[in-house]
Amino acid sequence: MPSFIGTACALIGAVDIAAGVFPRFRASRVHALAEVLPGTLGPLSAALSLSIGVLLLLLAHGLKRRKRRAWRAAVLLLPLGAAAQFVWRHSVLGALLSVALLVLLHHHRDQFAALPDPRSRWRALANFVVLGAASLTLGLVVVSAHPRRVVGDPSLADRLEHVLLGLLGVEGPVAYTHGVDWTVGYSLGALGMLTALTTIYLALRPEHPASLLTEDDETRLRALLERHGGRDSLGHFALRHDKGVVFSPSGKAAVCYRVVSGVMLASGDPIGDVEAWPGAIERFMDEARAHSWTPAVMGCSETGGQVWTRETGLDALELGDEAVIDVADFSLSGRAMRNVRQMVKRIERNGYTTRVRRVRDLDADELARVREAAAAWRGTDTERGFSMALGRIGAPGDGDAVIATAHRTDPGDDADSPYGDLKAMIHFVPWGPDGMSLELMRRDRAADPGMNELLIVAALQAAPELRIRRVSLNFAMFRSTLARGERLGAGPVLRLWRGLLLFLSRWFQIESLYKFNDKFQPRWEPRFVVYRTGRDLPRIGLAAMQAEGFLTLALPRPFARRRPARAPRPCLHTVPARSHREHEVSAA
């Protein structure tokens, strides 16, 4: 029923807008339908029709998602529509229809109980821009919808000026006959007032912040990771401070998530005891239902995908593969490693040296220099990373992380660099007691190409001394498709799919990440996306791109609201993560 009501609202809204804009529409074959909709006669009814139509379109999505606030707004609008029918048009049938819809909403009120989404003040500006642009476009249609009643031949500039002034309630340069001036004026004024009122409402309403990791949550998660952190290479990334968390009733398992555009996005496998995973997953799904969020999991393992699908009835789709290297099997010898071996030797001959240490072994000055360099060498203005990102270096509790740095002892270069002889770095987070997972790669743009290969090889060679047996590298999306599509005998569908991925690699570097990982001869571990229905996949994909930082729907920097740092949890310099490494891979 909510889906039906939402669709009905959208359709009625579209008809209301058409009835208020186009004079011929009110005399067309659908005139009988328009007669029973709020506001379709005279200047005031045209303005009211536009306003209610726009509002119904805005409410339709919220009603489909069972949002309580959308239900309340619809319950408020329907009596107004009924009053408009009776007062302005004396339409008893239209008033009864509005009352009938009101009764229907009241009867199904229990189905509209979803809580609000996370929100912030910047949505007021977003509403002003989006609704303002829509009002401007719709206003141009209104001004141009009466060609036979226009005095003279006003230019596009005159029409645009008339719309802009009309949105502010001021008479413009375009003149009409037969009283059309009143219809156009009321319609433009209603659009301008609607834009202003909704923006003011969004600016003044209380914020509903996203769930963030508290100190108690982090303490409990670290305890779970200490006992079960070796199960999933993505486990340590659950400690990002911008994630929320739900625990199982026993407290032995947890699912960390972030809400992006109505999608409740988890990453990796649940944290903790596998036997307690179902309890945490159930809490996750309960939270999604309470807010009418779309549940999704990005990058879970095959075991995690099996548990998710079994416990929830969701479906799973292979997303890509994670490159994992067993340290005992790694060697630079052999024809397969020839390119990496030659590159590393060439860089070493150019005077570069490497150091691999636990983060806790860096002194305060060197740690500060590493953080500053990581921030300065970031390739994009937007912080990227979510599922395979920690977003910090050397925070309290992260002392077991491993950092590999490249140095060049050239006095001339050192004098010009604020970071001394530091030329590149890679940062690994713990993966249980005997593993580490690659978190970021950064290098000075003036450094020689191949810094990433040099540091990965150095980290793998130093791993035995650090008691590291396995290392997780980058995640390669659609790796199997790229690998099979380039083989002899690949079918036309597979080749077409591979060609599309190569085309997309111009922007997202899908192929370059796969090729870079494949240099080190890893074993590939499949990763999956868990979703509810196929219709949700485009929305989940957009939410994932927003979470990873590839799509930014936020205020520009000059208008961005500064939020005070939360004490007493110092994060110092935030740094991007695996997804940020794409520009580094191409440079290498």
The per-residue pLDDT for 356 is: 95
Of the candidate ranges 127-136, 244-253, 272-281, 426-435, the one whose mean pLDDT is the lowest: 127-136
Does the pLDDT of residue 586 top 50, yes or no? no
Using DSSP bridges, classify how beta strands 435-443 and 470-477 pair: parallel, antiparallel or unpaired. Answer: parallel
Considering only the C-alpha atoms of the chain, give the largest distance between any 2 of them, rounded to a whole number of Å: 91
Does the pLDDT of residue 257 top 60, yes or no? yes
Neighbours of 418 (CB within 10 A): 9
Using DSSP bridges, classify how beta strands 470-477 and 422-430 pair: parallel, antiparallel or unpaired. Answer: unpaired
The per-residue pLDDT for 260 is: 86
Q: Which residues contact 7 (CB under 8 A, 6 or more apart)?
A: 60, 64
Q: Which residues contact 528 (CB under 8 A, 6 or more apart)?
A: 297, 299, 300, 301, 302, 304, 305, 316, 317, 318, 319
The per-residue pLDDT for 59 is: 82
Using DSSP bridges, classify how beta strands 253-260 and 244-247 pair: parallel, antiparallel or unpaired. Answer: antiparallel
The DSSP string of 55-76 is HHHHHHHHHHTTBHHHHHHHHH
Q: Residue 220 in contact with residue 251, Cβ under 8 Å?
A: yes
The per-residue pLDDT for 45 is: 65
Q: Residue 108 in contact with residue 2, Cβ under 8 Å?
A: yes
Neighbours of 315 (CB within 10 A): 17
Q: What pTM does this model have?
A: 0.72
Q: Of 429, 448, 422, 445, which is closest to residue 368 (Cα–Cα)?
A: 422
Does the pLDDT of residue 577 top 50, yes or no? no
Q: Residue 64 in contact with residue 45, Cβ under 8 Å?
A: no
What pLDDT digit, counting tens, does each position of 81-99 carry? Answer: 666 556 545 556 656 777 7
C-alpha 427/C-alpha 344 separation (Å) is 19
> Mean pLDDT of all residues in the chain?
79
Percent helix, strand, coil in the chain, to 5, is 55, 15, 30
Mean pLDDT confidence for 160-188: 78
273 CB-side CA count, 13 A: 9
The per-residue pLDDT for 551 is: 60
Beta bridge partners of residue 526, listed in sequence order? 321
Q: Which two tokens stand for residue 254?
A: 């947890």
The per-residue pLDDT for 191 is: 81
Mean pLDDT confidence for 475-500: 79
C-alpha 149/C-alpha 476 separation (Å) is 62
Of the candidate ranges 128-142, 201-215, 467-481, 488-502, the one whose mean pLDDT is the lowest: 201-215
What pLDDT digit, counting tens, does each position of 520-539 carry? Answer: 999 999 999 999 998 899 98
Q: Which two tokens stand for residue 34?
A: 């328009």
Does the pLDDT of residue 228 top 50, yes or no? yes
Between residues 76 and 586, the one the model is more confident about: 76
The DSSP string of 91-150 is -HHHHHHHHHHHHHHHHTGGG--BPPPPB-THHHHHHHHHHHHHHHHHHHHHHHS-GGGB
C-alpha 246/C-alpha 256 separation (Å) is 7
C-alpha 243/C-alpha 189 separation (Å) is 43
Q: Which two tokens stand for residue 77?
A: 């609008």
Which of 54-68, 353-367, 385-399, 475-489 holds the top average pLDDT?
Answer: 353-367
Does the pLDDT of residue 491 top 50, yes or no? yes
Between residues 497 and 379, the one the model is more confident about: 497
What pLDDT digit, counting tens, does each position of 324-378 carry? Answer: 999 999 999 989 899 999 999 999 999 899 999 999 999 998 999 999 888 888 7
Beta bridge partners of residue 403, listed in sequence order? 357, 427
Phi-psi domain of 20 (left: phi exceeds 0; alpha: psi -120 through 50; beta: other): alpha
Beta bridge partners of residue 440, listed in sequence order? 427
Q: pLDDT band for position 11 (50/70/90)?
A: confident
Q: Residue 439 in contact with residue 389, Cβ under 8 Å?
A: yes
C-alpha 451/C-alpha 345 separation (Å) is 12
Residue 65 identity: R
Residue 365 identity: D
Using DSSP bridges, classify how beta strands 402-408 and 352-358 pair: parallel, antiparallel or unpaired. Answer: antiparallel
Between residues 138 and 465, the one the model is more confident about: 465
Kindly state the percentage of the chain with pLDDT values over 90. Answer: 29
Distance of CA 195 to the CA centre of its chain: 26
Q: Which residue has the tokens 């604020």?
A: 418
Q: pLDDT band for position 272 (50/70/90)?
A: very high
Measured at the CA of 454, the angle between CA 450 and CA 456, to 5 degrees, comes to 115
Q: Which residues contact 373 (CB under 8 A, 6 or more apart)?
A: 419, 422, 425, 442, 444
Residue count (the chain): 588
| H runs (alpha helix) in 523-565 | 537-548
Q: Which residue has the tokens 């440079």?
A: 587
If you ran DSSP here, which 8-state letter would residue 556 be given?
A: -
Measured at the CA of 460, the angle between CA 455 and CA 462, to 5 degrees, comes to 95
If you ran DSSP here, which 8-state letter would residue 562 be given?
A: P
The per-residue pLDDT for 375 is: 85
The per-residue pLDDT for 34 is: 47
Neighbours of 333 (CB within 10 A): 8
Q: Which two tokens stand for residue 148?
A: 């036979």
Q: Of 273, 219, 229, 211, which is closest to residue 248 (Cα–Cα)?
A: 273
Mean pLDDT confidence for 21-38: 51
